Amino acid sequence: MPGRLTKKRIIMLYNILLIVQLIVSLGIIALVLMQHGKGADAGAAFGGGASGSVFGSKGSGNFMSRTTAILATIFFVNSLLLAWIVAHPEGAAPSVIESVIPAPAVESNSVPSDVPVPAGTAAPVDKSDVPVAPKQE
């Protein structure tokens, strides 16, 4: 079936998304390092640093900040997709509760008790593991 996600296709998709994640993260790092902070504007007003800029003194703000925002959005969506692929492997049970195999039931009458019952007291009728509280007068 061509539309079905097989194990090989999921692994290929995971690898592609991982490569995209690495490229986008390197792009974000490069763009953030190329941008100048708010404090650099005061120095640029007195002639320092703005003349050597590729985009000019004001032109880099819009282009770089928009590109950083776009790459950050791609990074966020890609992170969610990678997390979903890892959390939902092919053929796994959809729930932790459904993946638990129930233990076989054991009858309590067939298992001897390790705790001796004192003479003169009756064995408890209740089959729970919780001891009976003493009666208060």
Domain residue ranges in the chain: 7-90
CA distances from 64 to 27, 29, 67 (A): 11, 12, 5
Q: Nearest Cα to 31, choosing from 75, 71, 83?
A: 71
Please state, in angstroms and rounded to a whole number, the distance separating the CA atoms of residues 25 and 61.
Answer: 20
Q: Could you tell me the pLDDT band of residue 121, with boundaries at 50, 70 and 90?
A: low
Per-residue model confidence as pLDDT tens digits over 4-47: 778 888 889 999 999 999 999 999 999 999 887 766 655 555 65
Per-residue model confidence as pLDDT tens digits over 48-89: 555 455 555 555 568 888 999 999 999 999 999 999 999 887
Give pLDDT, residue 30: 94
Q: State the average pLDDT over residues 112-121.
A: 67
- What pTM was estimated for this model as a whole? 0.52
Q: State the average pLDDT over residues 82-102.
A: 74
DSSP 53: -
Q: Please tell me the total number of residues recorded for the chain in this structure.
A: 137
Both tokens of residue 119?
Answer: 């003479």
